[in-house]
Structure 1
Amino acid sequence: MICFLSILHVGGHIYNYNRFVDVNKEHNTLAAALKNLYLQSTNSILNPITNYQVVNVGEMLRTTAGITGVILSVCLILMFSSSTMLMRRSFYELFWFTHHLFIVFFICLAVHGIQGLIKSQTNVKQHDPVVCAPIYTSWTNSQCPVFPTFSGSSSTSWIWLLIPVVLYIIERIIRLVRSLQHVEIQQVTKHASNVFEIRFKKSNMKPLPGQYIYIKCFAIAKLEWHPFTVTSSPEEDFISVHIRSCGNWTKQLAERLKNYPQDIPNISVDGPYGAPADDCFNYDSVILVGAGIGVTPYAAILKHIRSIQTPNARLVRVYFYWICNTTDAFEWFGDLLQQLEHEINRPNFLIYKIFLTKWSLNEAKAVVRNHDDTRDLWTGLQQKTYYGRPNFDQDFSLIKDESQQNSDIGVFVCGPKQLANQLQRLCIKHNRNEKNINFYLNKENF
C-alpha cells in the first residue's frame, strides 16, 4: 500500500527497466545491476535503502513517504469504515467527526513525495535504456560509455489537490457567512409520532419547494449541522421544518424547545440547498412516494401546486402516496391534504393514496363501524385510507394508460432503500412501452 501511494501520488517518471528482467533469476540480472549501482557512484543510487542489514519496515518509517503513507492508510480506513450505513445511522457524530480526517489526508498527500524517493533517470542521452538494458553486463563500452544516474522526482500531488482545496475553502467561507444570518423562531408546535415543527420568520432565505436547510443548535453542539427539508411553500410568510425526534441530537433539540417561548435556544440556519425534488415541476406528471416522516419533502410541493393550477403549466397530474405504520402520523399532514382537497379546482390534478401498514384490533373495529362515513376516519379526507401496502406495479400500468403519448413522468421517493429499489425496478420495467412514456426515478439522499 505504501509503495502504491508513493508511485501514485509522487508523480515521478521512471523508466521501467523491470520489463527486461527475468524474475526467475536472482543473480546476474538487470535488477541486480541496478541494485549495485551505488558501488559505482552516489549519483547512481536507485534504491532508497542502501543498508541491507536493517529491517526494511524500520527504514521505511524513517522516511517522509513511509510515515505519511501509514497516516494516509489509517485515515482512509477510518473514513471508509465510519461511512457505512450502520455507523451513519447509529453513530452520526462519530461519522461526522471522522469524516473530517480528510484534512489530515490531504496534508499528508501533498507532502508524501516531497523527499523524492521515487527516482527517474537523468542521463538518458548518454545511457539510452533501450540500447543499454539488454547489455547490462557490459556497461561502459562504446554503446553505453557511462553508468545510468538517477535523481528524485519532484512531488506534484499538490497540483492535483490545489483546485478542489481552493473550491472547498470558498464553499466553507460562503457557508460561514450564510450561517451568520439572524434567524428568529416564530412558532414551535408539537405533533404526534414524536414530530415537532419549527417555524422561522422569513428573512433573506427563499427556499424553493423540496429544498432543505442545515440547522445548528449551539447549546447541543457548536460544530454539528443537521439537514432538514423545508415544509413551507414560497408563498407562505415563514419557513418551517418538521423534525422527528429519533436520535440523540433531535431528542435534545426537542427538549430544548419544550420551554419555548420562555427559553429560546440559539439556533443558526444555513441554506437553502437543492434536492432531487427541485425537478418536480419539470415533468408532465409526477409520482410522490413518502414513507413516514419521509413525506416532508413533498409538503412544500403539495402546498405550491395551488399556485400552478393554470392550464399552461407543464405539470398536469400529481400522484401522491403516503405509507405510514401508525395513525398518529396523519395528524399534521392530514390537515394540509384537507386544505388541498378544498382549494384545488382542477379535476384529477391531485390523486392521493394513503396507506396504513399496521393497525390494532380496536382500530380495525373503528374502521368497520365507520365504513359508511363520507370521510375517512383517520384523515378526514374524502379519499379513504388503504390498509396494507400499495401495488405499485398495477398503479404504474394505470398511470401509463392515463398519460398522453411521449410523456415524462418523474417518480420521487423518500423512504427506505428497499422502497427505492422496488420503484427503480418498476421504472425500468414500465419504460418499455409503445406510447414512449418514460419514468424517471429521483431518490432523496441525505
Structure 2
Amino acid sequence: MSSIYTFRPIVKDQYTAARSYFLCVIGLLFVESMLRLPAFLLSLRKSDLGSAKHLQRHWTATVWLHKLSTLPSLVPFLTHHIIPSIFRCLVFTGLNFLWGWNRIRYSTDYQLYGWLTIANAGLALLFPTRTNLFSTVARIPSPILLMYHRWAGVAATAHASLHFGLTAQSYIRTKQFDVVLENIRIRVGIMAWAALALMFLTSIRLLRRRTFELFYYTHFIFLVFIGGALYHAAHGPEFLLPGLVLWAIDRIVRFWYNFRGITVKSVTQYSGNVTKIQFEGAKTVSPGQIAWVQIPSVSLANWHPFTIASAPGDEVGTIAVRALGGYTKKVQQSSIIPVSEPKCSTDRSPHSSSTTTAIPTRLRLDGPYGVGRIEWMQYPVIVLVAGGIGITPGISIASHVVKYAMARMAVETPPGPQWHIHLLWTVSDTSHARWFEDELINLAEPCARPNAPVSLDVTIHVTSHIVGAAAAMGRREGLEEENGVGDDASRRYNGPGEVRGGRPNVLKWFQRVKEARAGLDAAVNICGPRSLMDDARRAAAAVSCRGGLFYVEDEEFEF
C-alpha cells in the first residue's frame, strides 16, 4: 500500500491536473512579461531616456547574478543555451513531471498522459504565430516564445507516446487490441499520435536546418492532430481552441499582407554570394525585426525569414540574402537578377565588387515581426558583435540609435543624452566588408558632426588573413598590401573604422569598450557563428562590474 500511495498523482482528477498544468505554464509567461514589460512602458516616456547618461553603481550580488545569467552553458551538449534558458527548461520539465506523476497501475491511469498531451498541444499552438499577442502585448521576445513552443511540442509527443504505448501494451496483454481497434475513436486517436510523431521527427535540429521546407510544410499536419484530438477527447476544445483561434487570426493578418504593394528599388549582388534587396511598402516598428520573404521567380511556395537591416520607420527597407542553403542559392543564381555594370550614383568608389540591376524584381513580404529583448535607447553604450551576414541586425540597431539621437538633437539644446555605438564585425574576406559599406558611411556622417549626441566606432576583422605591423596600427592600406589585394580596388573597403587581419580577441575588445565608457551600462547584440556568440557572452560577463553591466541579446542565424 505504501508504494501505491507514493506514486499517487497530486490531483486525483486527471482533467483538473491538466488544467492546473496549463495554468502553471501561463504563469511562467506572466513572469517573462514582468521582466520586460515595465522597461517597454518606460521607453514610451521618452523624457526618461536622458537618465541613460548617468553613471551606474550596481550591488555586488546583482553583478554576480548578471554574470551567471550572461555566460553560455558549460554543459557540452547544451552550448547553445544560456543559463536562464536552462533554468526555464528545468522549470518547464519539472511541471510536466509534477503533474504527470502517476502510479501507472490501471489502464485508467494512462489517461492522464492523454490529457497532458492535449494541454501541451494547446500551449504549443499559442506561441509560434507571427502576430503573437504574447509578443505584441506582453512584450515577450519571439525567440523565448519559440523555445516554449519547442518544449511544449516535445512534451506533447512524450506524453502522447506514453499514453499510446501504455494503453496498447495493456490491450495486447489482455488480448483486446483487435477489438479495440474497431472503435473509430481509437483509430482517430492513433492517427493524431502519428501526425504528432511526424511533426516531431521533422523538427529535429539536423533535419530542420538542412531541409527547412520539409520541416515547414510537414508542420501543417498539426490540423490533422487537432482534428483527431478533438474527436478523441471529450474536453479538448478548452485547451486547443484558444491557440487555434489565434492561429486563424494570424493567417488572416498574413493573408492581408499579401495585398500590400511591395516595390523593389534595387537588387545588388556582392562577392561572397550575397544579394542585397532594397524595397518599399513595409516598415519595421522596432530594430532587428524579421520578415518572411517570397520571390515568385524563385519559388511560388517557399517563404524564408530574413532580418531587415534598416531602422524603424525607414521608407526603404533592406534585406541581405547570403547563399547558404538551397533556397538562398536559388536567389543568388536566379535570372531575376541580371548582371549589369553598376552606376556611379549607386557606388561610392570608382570600382566595385558588386553588380546592380536596374530592373526591379517581384517580391512578397510577410511581416515584419518580432519583439527584441532590449530597449536600446535606454542604454548609453550599444555594443554590436557580428560575424559575416550576421551584421544585419546590428545595422538595423545602429541605424535606429543614430536616427533617434539626431532627431533629439534637432529639438533639444546640447548637452543631452549621449549614445556610443561600438561595432565589431568579422568577415572571411576583405571584399565582404563592402556588403554594408554604404550603410556604415551613412551612419558615420551624422556621428562626425559637431556636438552630435551619438558616436560610432567600427572595427572590422578579416579572419582569413594575418595583418602586418602597418595594419595593426590601423592603416587599411597596409592590410591590403599584406593580404595581397592592394592592387585590386574592387575589393577595398572604403567605409569608416579600422580594418584588421586575423580573428579578434573579443575579450580585449570588450575591455577597451569598458575602459572608454567606464561607469556606463551597455546593451549588446550578437549575431554570428556559435563560437563568436559564446566568446562575446563570456566577454560581456567578464567586463560587467559594479560600475556597469553588459546586457546581452543574441540572434542565431545558422538556419
Asked whether 1:427 is paired with 2:547, we answer no
- CA-based RMSD of the aligned residues comes to 3.9
Q: Does the 8 Å CA contact 1:324/1:356 hold for their aligned counterparts? A: yes
Q: How far apart are the structure 2 equivalents of 1:8 and 1:369?
A: 59
The one of the two structures with greater contact order (alpha-carbon pairs below 8 A, sep at least 6) is 2
* Inter-CA distance 281–84: structure 2 relative to 1 (3 Å threshold): farther
User: How many aligned positions are there?
Assistant: 363
* Inter-CA distance 178–157: structure 2 relative to 1 (3 Å threshold): same
Q: How does 1:202-213 map to 2 (within 5 A)?
A: 202-203=280-281, 205-213=283-291
Q: Which residue of 2 aligns with 1:443?
A: 555
Q: How does 1:23-422 map to 2 (within 5 A)?
A: 55-113=175-233, 155-200=234-279, 202-203=280-281, 205-234=283-312, 236-254=314-332, 255-259=334-338, 266-276=362-372, 279-309=375-405, 314=417, 316-345=419-448, 346=452, 349-359=455-465, 366-368=480-482, 378-381=492-495, 383-405=497-519, 407-422=520-535
Where 2:265 maps in the other structure, the secondary structure is strand
* Inter-CA distance 411–60: structure 2 relative to 1 (3 Å threshold): farther
Q: How far apart are the structure 2 equivalents of 1:7 and 1:89?
A: 29
Q: Does the 8 Å CA contact 1:277/1:412 hold for their aligned counterparts? A: no
Q: How far apart are the structure 2 equivalents of 1:379 and 1:361?
A: 15
Question: Over residues 7-45 of structure 1, what are the superposed CA-to-partner deviations in whole Å (9 max), with x where a residue is unaligned?
Answer: 8659xxxxxxxxxxxxxxxxxxxxxxxxxxxxxxxxxxx
Question: Over residues 391-425 of structure 1, what are the superposed CA-to-partner deviations in whole Å (9 max), with x where a residue is unaligned?
Answer: 222233333333353x4311111112232233333
Could you tell me which runs of 5 or more consecutive residues in structure 2 were left unpaired when the two chains were aligned.
1-109, 120-166, 341-357, 407-413, 469-476
Question: Over residues 65-110 of structure 1, what are the superposed CA-to-partner deviations in whole Å (9 max), with x where a residue is unaligned?
Answer: 5323322332232222222332222111111111222221211121
Q: Which amino acid aligns with 2:378?
A: N
Where 1:246 maps in the other structure, the secondary structure is coil
Q: How far apart are the structure 1 equivalents of 2:117 and 2:214?
A: 30
Q: How far apart are the structure 1 equivalents of 2:467 and 2:523?
A: 38
Q: Does the 8 Å CA contact 1:213/1:227 hold for their aligned counterparts? A: yes
Q: Which amino acid aligns with 1:441?
A: E
Q: Does the 8 Å CA contact 1:9/1:156 hold for their aligned counterparts? A: no
Asked whether 1:4 is paired with 2:113, we answer yes
* Inter-CA distance 366–344: structure 2 relative to 1 (3 Å threshold): closer
Please say which structure displays the higher CA radius of gyration.
1
Q: Which residue of 2 aligns with 1:122?
A: none
Q: CA deviation at 1:174?
A: 0.7
Q: How far apart are the structure 2 equivalents of 1:383 and 1:442?
A: 23
**Identity score, percent:** 25
* Inter-CA distance 222–434: structure 2 relative to 1 (3 Å threshold): same
Q: CA deviation at 1:277?
A: 7.7
Q: How far apart are the structure 2 equivalents of 1:267 and 1:252?
A: 14
* Inter-CA distance 351–94: structure 2 relative to 1 (3 Å threshold): same
Q: CA deviation at 1:260?
A: 8.8
Q: Does the 8 Å CA contact 1:210/1:277 hold for their aligned counterparts? A: no
Q: Does the 8 Å CA contact 2:310/2:399 hold for their aligned counterparts? A: yes
Q: Does the 8 Å CA contact 2:291/2:305 hold for their aligned counterparts? A: yes
* Inter-CA distance 231–361: structure 2 relative to 1 (3 Å threshold): closer
Q: Which amino acid aligns with 2:317?
A: I
Where 1:276 maps in the other structure, the secondary structure is coil
Q: Which amino acid aligns with 2:525?
A: F
Where 1:317 maps in the other structure, the secondary structure is strand
Q: Which amino acid aligns with 1:297?
A: P
Q: Does the 8 Å CA contact 1:411/1:441 hold for their aligned counterparts? A: yes
Could you tell me which runs of 5 or more consecutive residues in structure 1 were left unpaired when the two chains were aligned.
11-46, 114-154
Q: CA deviation at 1:426?
A: 3.4
Where 2:441 maps in the other structure, the secondary structure is helix
Q: How far apart are the structure 2 equivalents of 1:324 and 1:48?
A: 56
Q: Which amino acid aligns with 2:187?
A: I
TM-score, normalised with respect to structure 1: 0.69
Q: Which amino acid aligns with 2:424?
A: Y
Q: CA deviation at 1:355?
A: 0.7
Q: Does the 8 Å CA contact 2:181/2:187 hold for their aligned counterparts? A: yes
Q: How far apart are the structure 2 equivalents of 1:218 and 1:5?
A: 43
Question: Over residues 121-141 of structure 1, what are the superposed CA-to-partner deviations in whole Å (9 max), with x where a residue is unaligned?
Answer: xxxxxxxxxxxxxxxxxxxxx
Where 1:100 maps in the other structure, the secondary structure is helix
* Inter-CA distance 370–235: structure 2 relative to 1 (3 Å threshold): farther
TM-score, normalised with respect to structure 2: 0.56
* Inter-CA distance 420–58: structure 2 relative to 1 (3 Å threshold): farther
Q: How far apart are the structure 1 equivalents of 2:523 and 2:398?
A: 15
Question: Over residues 243-283 of structure 1, what are the superposed CA-to-partner deviations in whole Å (9 max), with x where a residue is unaligned?
Answer: 11232222333414224999765431122213538733332
Where 1:349 maps in the other structure, the secondary structure is strand
Q: Does the 8 Å CA contact 1:209/1:278 hold for their aligned counterparts? A: no
Question: Over residues 337-379 of structure 1, what are the superposed CA-to-partner deviations in whole Å (9 max), with x where a residue is unaligned?
Answer: 234334422498211111111139999984339999xxxx832
Q: How far apart are the structure 1 equivalents of 2:244 and 2:338?
A: 43
Where 2:309 maps in the other structure, the secondary structure is coil
387-396 vs 322-331, which moves further: 387-396
